[in-house]
Amino acid sequence: MRFANLTRQPDDPLLRIIGQHAADPRADKIDLGVGVFRDEEGRTPVMTAVKAAETRLLAEQPSKSYLGPEGDTGFVRALGRLVVADTVSADRIVGLQTPGGTGALRLCAELLARAGVPRIWIGSPSWANHAPLFRQAGVEPAMIPCYDLTAQLFDLSGFLKGLDGATAGDAVLLHGCCHNPIGIDPDAAGWAAIAEHVAARSLTPVVDLAYQGLGDGFDQDAAGARTILAAVPEALLAYSCDKNFGLYRERTGALFALSPDAGTGAVVLSNLLALARANWSMPPDHGAAVVRLILEDEALTREWRDELETMRQRLEGLRSTLAAGGRIGAIDLGAVAHGKGMFATLPLSPSQVEWLRDRHGIYMAGSGRINIAGFNSAAIGRFHAALRDMAANGVA
Q: Looking at this protein, which amino acid is placed at residue 297?
A: D
Sign of CA dihedral 67, 303, 253, 266: positive
Residue 14 binding ligand LMR, by CB under 6 A: yes
Which residue has its beta carbon closest to ligand LMR? 35
Smallest distance from ligand LMR to CB 12, Å? 8
Total interface residues for ligand LMR by CB under 6 A: 6
84 SS3 class: helix
Smallest distance from ligand LMR to CB 14, Å? 5
Alpha carbon of 261 to those of 39, 89, 195, 204, 257: distances in Å?
A: 44, 9, 20, 16, 11
**Which residue of the set 53, 171, 210, 365 is catalytic?**
210
Q: Which of 21, 35, 156, 182 binds ligand LMR (CB under 6 A)?
A: 35
Toward ligand LMR, which CB reaches closer, 69 or 283?
Answer: 283
Residue from 68, 37, 48, 101 nearest 250 by CA = 101
Toward ligand LMR, which CB reaches closer, 79 or 105?
Answer: 105
Residue 97 binding ligand LMR, by CB under 6 A: no
Residue 204 binding ligand LMR, by CB under 6 A: no
Query: Which 257-276 positions form the footprint of ligand LMR (CB under 6 A)?
Result: none
Smallest distance from ligand LMR to CB 243, Å? 8
Q: Distance between CA 178 and CA 150 in Å, rounded?
A: 18
Residue from 236, 243, 244, 218 nearest 83 by CA = 218
Q: Where are the alpha helices (DSSP H) in the chain?
A: 13-23, 48-60, 73-84, 100-114, 130-136, 156-163, 188-200, 223-231, 262-279, 286-295, 298-323, 350-360, 377-392
Query: Which 101-160 positions form the footprint of ligand LMR (CB under 6 A)?
Result: 127, 129
List 256's β-bridge partners, or say none.
95, 237
Q: Distance between CA 40 and CA 114 in Å, rounded?
A: 46
Q: Distance between CA 7 and CA 26 in Å, rounded?
A: 35
Has 208 been annotated as catalytic?
yes
Residue from 230, 123, 229, 113 nearest 179 by CA = 123
Residue 18 binding ligand LMR, by CB under 6 A: no
**Which residue of the set 52, 109, 127, 340 is catalytic?**
127
Q: Looking at this protein, which amino acid is placed at residue 264?
A: T
Smallest distance from ligand LMR to CB 180, Å? 5
**Which residue of the set 31, 170, 208, 285 is catalytic?**
208
Sort strands 343-345 and 369-371 into parallel, antiparallel or unpaired: antiparallel
Smallest distance from ligand LMR to CB 66, Å? 27
Has 340 been annotated as catalytic?
no
Toward ligand LMR, which CB reaches closer, 80 or 125?
Answer: 125
Toward ligand LMR, which CB reaches closer, 34 or 232?
Answer: 34
Smallest distance from ligand LMR to CB 127, Å? 6
Residue 34 binding ligand LMR, by CB under 6 A: yes
Q: Which of 180, 204, 212, 367 binds ligand LMR (CB under 6 A)?
A: 180
Q: Distance between CA 81 and CA 88 in Å, rounded?
A: 10
Has 170 been annotated as catalytic?
no
Toward ligand LMR, which CB reaches closer, 35 or 103?
Answer: 35
**Which residue of the set 78, 243, 340, 373 is catalytic?**
243
Has 231 been annotated as catalytic?
no
Please compute, for residue 75, the number of CA atoms within 13 A of its CA located in the half-sphere on the CB side.
25
Residues annotated as catalytic (active site), given as ranges = 127, 208, 210, 243
Contact set with ligand LMR (CB under 6 A): 14, 34-35, 127, 129, 180
